[in-house]
Amino acid sequence: MERVEQHASFGGRQEVWRHESRTLGCTMKVGIYLPPAALRGERCPVVYWLSGLTCTEQNFITKAGAQQHAAQHGLIVVVPDTSPRGDGVADDPSYDLGQGAGFYLNATQAPWAAHFRMEDYVVHELSAWVEQHFPTNARRSIFGHSMGGHGALTLALRHPGRYASVSAFSPIVAPSQVPWGRKAFAAYLGEDQGAWAAHDAVSLIATASERLPLLVDQGEADEFLATQLKPELLQAACDAVGHPLTLRMHPGHDHSYYFIASFIGEHLAFHADALKARA
Amino acid sequence: MERVEQHASFGGRQEVWRHESRTLGCTMKVGIYLPPAALRGERCPVVYWLSGLTCTEQNFITKAGAQQHAAQHGLIVVVPDTSPRGDGVADDPSYDLGQGAGFYLNATQAPWAAHFRMEDYVVHELSAWVEQHFPTNARRSIFGHSMGGHGALTLALRHPGRYASVSAFSPIVAPSQVPWGRKAFAAYLGEDQGAWAAHDAVSLIATASERLPLLVDQGEADEFLATQLKPELLQAACDAVGHPLTLRMHPGHDHSYYFIASFIGEHLAFHADALKARA
């Protein structure tokens, strides 16, 4: 492992690390924000951020404005890349499949199954690596945007007990029912839709064994709202089983990082509260 | 003129406009943040941000985290590009001359004199355009980073009465004495160094007719500190004539937008205070 960037930021430090992932079979970059408390040697909880299509670890750490709030709450923020990367890794010319579009699952189909194992990477290998090398207290929350909102919701629902809270901006809540998800699931999981429900938040909510604090923010001027995101499907699924959900619709807001930045402080406060309650 | 981007942001709106500049002889892009007060129709003061080498209008509006503070103080923030642009505009293969490196002056030498008139553009044409099309109260402040810190300091000092306050992150305070400035001044103003002092903040301070509030933040881990920035020269020039200066050195901070984001709130509060005092 090697630190490739470090920048003082709000009394803490924004770092970028490169490490070898055995799960993915490639080198991965990870953004790590260490708040002032961590630099003083205190053990801090970790919030994992999962980014959307086409992103690397850079988008969130440069544009979301999360560091000031992580500094205030004493949160380590870990930001992985969105897929395995490199010349030896399968890819597709379109932006919504292959590198930059890992969809936070373990692919079962060729040519993807060899490297595309983002679920195992994020849930197991990355958190073990983070907890070994940084001053954490082994409490975790998870959040993300768009494809990464899908990732946060499904990983939290598939791994009960692992995260104290989950939140999302503009998530793909029902990938089995929308073009981005159907294309990715067909490629990564195969045409048999029987395997898809296990990676679909709206399906998973129906049988969730845990009642996690769940916050979703969605812009009403989001260009993908009606075709790809459909938060009303998550609301209906939560209502059907009495799962808690705070779904907030925001007039005028679009799918960009300007939306994320406007509410990132509230998301980090939400996670800080849930992580404290776990203490 | 044409609006090419608009994003809801902290109750206000981050916009990007394209307009034809008669001064520069090309099309220019400008970032404009309108705070909630401006969207309600109130007339607001304007803070002009001048970016550093290689930047466009995008760097500051996506990375600095200024919008939340501009929203709170009711400030319009205007962010021009760093030079004229386009196929018909002279350029140089190096990053520190030509397009992306206008140095906020009017060039007198070929091939630059035809388009490189960033001083006239920022001070006159851009502010007239802003004050014609947006709800301003004609009060202005100015700030910037690195080459843009040089721009903010020199434009404020060369145009007394025009700005209520000036601040800078990591500015080039003495371009006549450092490699970035000497290269640019030789190209844009000619080898005769007699013309350089009029665009050098350290020289201009000596004869300043106005005592503007002046705030400078500088990172101690800035990779350009000793070779290009030399804030001690500005401190000495201010001390020599009794010009007010708040110069703050920040351990650990580098030349990046992580540094700017960490202190942007204090700069906007500083300008908001000075602009209120002008009311």
Quick one: pLDDT at residue A138? 85
Shortest distance between the Cα of A216 and any Cα of chain B, in A, equals 17
Q: What is the pLDDT of residue A141?
A: 98
Report yes or no: A251 and A173 within 8 Å, Cβ to Cβ. no
Nearest CA in chain A to B66: A65
Domain boundaries, chain A: 2-277
Of A7, A65, A221, which has the smallest distance from its Cβ to B254's Cβ?
A7
- Residue B17's identity, in one-letter code, is W
Residues B116-146 pLDDT 10s: 999 999 999 999 999 999 999 989 999 999 9
Phi and psi at A142, nearest 5°, equal: -150, 140
Q: Does B95 touch chain A (CB under 8 A)?
A: no
Segments of chain A with pLDDT less than 70 = none
Chain A's closest residue to B15, CA to CA, is: A258
Q: Which long-range contacts (C-beta less than 8 Å, at least 24 apart) are formed by A114-118?
A: A114/A25, A114/A90, A115/A24, A115/A25, A115/A26, A115/A84, A115/A88, A115/A89, A115/A90, A116/A24, A116/A83, A116/A84, A116/A90, A116/A188, A117/A23, A117/A24, A117/A84, A118/A24, A118/A82, A118/A83, A118/A84, A118/A151
Q: CA A44 to CA A141: how far, in whole Å?
A: 12
The residue whose two tokens read 């202005």 is: B140
Rounded CA gap, B13 and B5, in Å?
A: 10
pLDDT in tens, B160-177: 999 999 999 999 999 999
Confidence band for B278, pLDDT divided at 50, 70 and 90: confident
B279: pLDDT strictly greater than 90: no
- pLDDT tens digits, residue range B214-241? 999 999 999 999 999 999 999 999 999 9
Q: How, if at all, do strands A214-219 and B2-9 pair?
A: unpaired
Catalytic-role residue among A222, A253, A267, A271: A222
- The ipTM, to two decimals, is 0.95
Token reading at B79: 């962010």
Rounded Cα distance between A275 and B209, Å, is: 56
Question: Tokens 């406060």 label which residue?
Answer: A269
A67/B252 touch (CB, cutoff 8 Å), yes or no: no
Give the whole-angstrom CA distance, residue B104 versus residue B68. 27
Q: Which amino acid is at B224?
A: F
pLDDT of residue A61: 98
Q: Supply the residues of B annotated as catalytic.
A: 146, 222, 255
Looking at residue A79, its amino acid is: V
Q: Are A81 and A31 in contact (CB under 8 A)?
A: no
| Residue type at position B211 | R
Here the tokens at position A121 are 């990477």
Look up tokens 């890794």; give the residue.
Answer: A89
Tell me the CA end-to-end span of chain A in Å, nearest whole number: 30
Closest approach of chain A CAs to the CA of B59, in angstroms?
10
Domain topology for A2-277: Rossmann fold (3.40.50)
Contacts of A221 in chain B (CB under 8 A): 8
Residue B248 reports pLDDT greater than 90? yes
Q: What pLDDT is attached to residue A278?
A: 82
Q: For the segment A13-31, what is each residue's pLDDT rounded down to a tens digit?
A: 999 999 999 999 999 999 9
For B168-202, the pLDDT digits (tens) are 999 999 999 999 999 999 999 999 998 999 999 99
Residue A267: active-site member: no
Tens digits of residue pLDDT in B53-92: 999 999 999 999 999 999 999 999 999 999 999 999 999 9
